[in-house]
Structure 1
Amino acid sequence: MANIRHLDPSASPLDYYGSELRRRREAAGLTQEALGGCIFVTGSLVGQVETGHRVPTRDFSERVDAALGTDGMFSRLASLVLRSQLPTWFQQYAEMEARATYISTYQAQVVYGLLQTEEYARAVLGADKPTNLDDLVAARMDRQRILTREHPPALWVVLDEAVLHREIGGGPVMRAQLAYLLECQRRQWVNLQVLPFVAGQHTATRGSFNLLRFDNDPDLFYAESYDIGHMTANLQVIRERSVGYAHLQAAALSSEGSVALIAGVLEERYGDRPDPDGCGLA
């Protein structure tokens, strides 16, 4: 029997999505099972989305738009729903990240979220055993869409060498992740450098941070602790961290040297030999 629990559409993006899905489905004269058959899922899954018990994927949303003729409405709503699954303190940063035209980041522990494979992200996010792991992973993957849009932001990444050696998710996961980094380095708007252990002391010993630049808004600095993110447009902070980031880039290996190091770790630790042009197979 179909679940007839009704949602308050003003309660959250997920509830709004569910209530609109039910309204549009019923207006089309379809049961949950009938709509499920049109989009190749079960009627039960449609019911779970309509009642807010399941977060819709982007693929699900695109299929619903096609089946109901809703002109991309559910695909657009999917971004809001997925972003709402991020920790509350992180959502504002994610919104600004999506608007940035230039992103520079230093990462000391793990691969930057925009460059994580799905399985690597699942291992990182699953460390604390959250009950909504699938939703968190889907939200992180959705953030990465900004790199494939028509006008992606320029992304400059400095990874500490420790990131390459810290085995997250097991050998196969790391093998795929390092190969993916090599693939990402080939993109026009992505530049990746590795800060080697031999660099010694550097200007980011306090930890990871991001700098965002915009066409018409002030620059932003972002850093986070265990359960809170700090974002500021303070000019002095921006100036100091921008200079610090320039020093990090100068101390890091060149793009070519970084590719060679990543490829070396990939082969030596995870038994995968990159292809002749220096890029592994993802």
Structure 2
Amino acid sequence: MTHINVLDPGASPLDYYGFELRRYREAAGLTQRQLGDVINYTGSLVGQIETARKLPTPEFSERADVALETGGLLSRLVTLVMRSQLPAWFQQVAELQARATEIYSFETHMVHGLLQTRAYARAVLGVLDQANLDDRTAVRLARQSIFERVEPPIYWLVLSEGALYQEIGGAQAMREQLAHLLSFEGNPRANIQILPYSAGAHVGLQGSFDLYRFGSDPSIVYTEGYGSGHPTANPDTVNDCSLRYDHLQAAALSLKESAELIRRVMEDRYGDQLA
């Protein structure tokens, strides 16, 4: 007899996901291999997800929802699964990003995680630690699902020009990353401004920060260190960073000029030509 690994659905969101996937599959009278054939995945992968040894992806969840007629349950659960896999100190921040109606980010040296491509994110995450890199990359990218909501947050990024030249992941990864930034051109809810070298001394020299605003709750400022995050709703800090952000936006290039600079760097430095 085949040994069936029994999961405690209350142990974690990942265990709960695996429990529900198995429950729906068995109710449909399908083996792991049969379900895999239907949704174009291996039966082995289905088994690994059911036993909480492998993270499901949004694509897997969508296909399984359709095949098993779950009413979208797995697609709803996968968001919680991904968030639960984030470092403990960052889980609160991911929740803030998911709840915010407006997000204002200033980045000094690399593209913000909410706009990173897979190759770029993989290079960032893999600098010192290659363990479970595929899963950790998927978890980071899953945070970007906030832009797929019926009413996504208004997002504004002021990015230092140096981040366009810091080659992360190689030339091909940078071409893809800069092209991804350009894909938001003309989107009124996702705006990217470049803070040029010519700005000289500016109010963001102390480092990167995020400002989260909500419909009724107080605004929150988030800063990050090595292996730690620091959200605060202190009114003085929020007011100070709000003023700083206003000045950063004023010192940055316009949206049109920013897109032109991104395109120029992509073509000249990374050898790509847009049609």
- SS of the residue 2:192 aligns to: strand
Structure 1 consecutive aligned stretches of length 4 or more whose deviation exceeds 4 Å: none
What is the one-letter code of the residue matched to 2:273? Answer: R
| Match in the other structure for 1:72 | 72
Matched residue, 2:6: 6
Counterparts of 1:48 and 1:27 in 2: how far apart (Å)? 19
1:48-84, CA deviations, whole angstroms, 9 ceiling, x for partnerless residues?
0011110011111111111111100111011111111
Shift of 1:2: 5.9
- 2:223 is aligned to 223
Whole-angstrom CA distance in 1 between matches of 2:186 and 2:259: 10
Which residue of structure 1 aligns with residue 120 of structure 2? 120
Alpha-carbon shift at residue 168 of structure 1 (Å):
0.4
SS of 1:229 mapped into structure 2: strand
Maintained 8 Å contact 1:3/1:51: no
Correspondence for 1:177 = 177
Aligned ranges for residues 160-239 of structure 1 at < 5 Å? 160-239=160-239
> TM-score, normalised on structure 2?
0.96
Equivalent position of 1:144 in the other structure: 144
**1:132 and 1:112 mapped to 2: Cα distance?**
21
Report how many residues are paired. 275
Structure 1 letter corresponding to 2:246: A
SS of residue matched to 1:103: strand
Q: What are the Cα deviations for residues 230-275 of structure 1, in whole angstroms up to 9, with x where unaligned?
A: 0011100000000011111111111122112111111110112334
Secondary structure of the structure 1 residue equivalent to 2:238 = helix
Matched, 1:58 2:79: no
- Taking the aligned partners of 1:181 and 1:62, their CA distance within structure 2 comes to 26
1:100 aligns with 2:100: yes
SS at match of 2:223: strand
Residue pairs, 1:246-261, within 5 angstroms: 246-261=246-261
Find the counterpart in structure 2 of residue 279 from structure 1: none
Unaligned runs of 5+ in 2: none
Which residue identity is paired with 1:66?
A: V
Q: Is the 8 A contact 1:221 1:231 kept in 2?
A: yes
- What's the CA shift for 1:196? 1.0
How far the C-alpha of 1:91 sits from its partner, in A, is 0.8
Residue equivalent to 1:133: 133
- Structure 1, unaligned runs of 5 or more: 276-282
Q: How far 1:119 moved relative to its partner?
A: 1.2
State the one-letter code of the partner of 2:264.
G
Q: Aligned pair in 2 of structure 1 residues 243, 85: CA closer, same or farther (>3 Å)?
A: same
How far apart are the structure 1 equivalents of 2:200 and 2:216?
A: 37
Matched AA of 1:51: T
Summarize the Cα distance change of 1:3–1:173 in structure 2 as closer, same or farther, 3 Å threshold: farther
Q: Alignment RMSD, CA only?
A: 1.4
Query: Alpha-carbon deviation of 1:102?
Result: 0.7
Deviation at 1:46, TM superposition (A): 0.9
Determine helix, strand or coil for the equivalent of 2:194.
strand
Post-superposition CA distance 1:68-115 (Å, at most 9, x none)? 111001110111111111111111111110111111000012101111
CA 79–2 in structure 1, closer or farther in 2 if over 3 Å, else same: farther
CA distance in 2, matches of 1:3, 1:42: 19
**Does the CA-based 8 Å contact 1:115-1:184 persist in structure 2?**
no
Confirm or deny: 8 A CA contact 1:212 1:219 kept in the other structure: yes
Shift of 1:29: 2.1
Aligned equivalents of 2:33, 2:50: Cα separation in 1: 13
Structure 2 letter corresponding to 1:91: Q
Distance in 2 (CA, whole Å) between partners of 1:179 and 1:118 is: 13
The share of aligned pairs that are identical, in percent, is 55
